[in-house]
Amino acid sequence: MQRNLTGQCRNYVSSVATALFVLLTVFALCLPVRLASARPSTASTSNLGIANDYNVFVFQTGVLETGGSTIEGRLAVGGQVSTKNYSIAPNVPLTDAAVPYNIVFGATGTATATTWSGTLYGSLVSNGATTTVKTPDVRGSVYALRSLDLGGSLNSGGTVQGDAVYGTTFRKDSNVTVQGQTRQSSTTALPFSFVSAESDLRALSTRLKTLAPTGTTSVQYGGITCTGTRPGLNVF
C-alpha cells in the first residue's frame, strides 16, 4: 500500500499530525505537515483527547509568520504567540457548541498574543497579558482574559463581526469596527488546561513510540511517500 503525503496519505495523517508534530516522537506518521495548507482534523482516526479538535496544537511558544498561508482547521498555542499573514480555520464551522473557540491562546504570565494580517474564522480566546488583534477581519468574537488591543496596523475598515470581551483594559483604534458588544467580563476562561493536555499527550507519545514500524517513507520531488504493509493503521 503506497500513499503520497500530498494526496491520500496526507488526508489520513492530518488529525494524527495535528498534535504529535509538537511531541518530537519517534512515532511520526509523516509528521512534517505543511501548515500552509493543513487540513481540518478528523477526531475519529485517533484518540488525541482535546487535541483532536485542532489542526495545530502547540504546547509553548508559537510563531507562525509566512506569506499568504492558511491553517484550515483550529489553532491552539499554549505560550507566547504571534501569527502573521495566516488565515486560520476557514474550513471548520464558525460556531460549534462543543468547540466554542477556533483559536485558543493560553499565554500565561507576561506572555503576549498578537495576530497580524490574515482572516480569523470563528472566535478567539486568549490569556495573554496583552492580546493584540491586528487582523483585518475576525469572523467571530474576541475574548481576552486580560488586556485587549484592537488596532495598530489593522487595515482600514477592519471588522470584528462578533463581540469584543476583555478582562482588565481595552483599547481600539478608530478604524476598527466591532459589530457586536464591547464589554468587560471577569468570567471568561480558557476551554481547557494546556498543562493537562501536554501531560496527556506526552504520555501518549511515550506509548506510541514503542510501536514497531510497519512501513517505510521516502522523500522525492517535494513530497513524502508513505508505503504501508497493513490495510489499517501503519507506523512510519
For residue range 111-136, list pLDDT tens digits in order: 888 888 788 999 999 999 999 998 77
pLDDT in the model for residue 67: 63
pLDDT in the model for residue 115: 85
pLDDT in the model for residue 76: 95
Domain encompassing residue 123: 18-212
pLDDT in the model for residue 156: 59
Q: Please indicate, yes or no, if residue 229 is contained in any of the structural domains.
A: no
Report how many domains make up the chain. 1
pLDDT in the model for residue 153: 52
Q: Please indicate, yes or no, if residue 155 is contained in any of the structural domains.
A: yes
Nearest C-alpha neighbor of 32 from the set 51, 14, 12: 14
SS (H, E, C) the chain: CEEECCCHHHHHHHHHHHHHCCCCCCCCCCCCCCCCEECCCCHHHCCCHHHHHCCEEECCCEEEEEEEEEECCCEEECCCEEEEEEEECCCCCCCCCCCCCCEEECCCCCCCEEECCCEEECCEEECCCEEEECCCEEECCEEECCEEEECCCCCCCCEECCCEEECCCEEECCCCEECCCEEECCCCCCCCCHHHHHHHHHHHHHHHCCCCCCEEEEEECCEEEEEECCCCCCCC
Q: Please indicate, yes or no, if residue 151 is contained in any of the structural domains.
A: yes
Q: Please indicate, yes or no, if residue 34 is contained in any of the structural domains.
A: yes
The low-confidence residues of the chain, meaning pLDDT below 70, are: 1-46, 66-67, 152-157
Distance from C-alpha of 23 to C-alpha of 194, rounded to nearest angstrom = 14
Q: Please indicate, yes or no, if residue 160 is contained in any of the structural domains.
A: yes
Task: Read off the C-alpha cell for 20.
Answer: 504529535
Pair type for strands 81-88 and 124-126: unpaired
Q: Please indicate, yes or no, if residue 69 is contained in any of the structural domains.
A: yes
Give the C-alpha distances (Å, rounded to integers) separating 213 from 16, 23, 86, 156.
16, 18, 35, 53
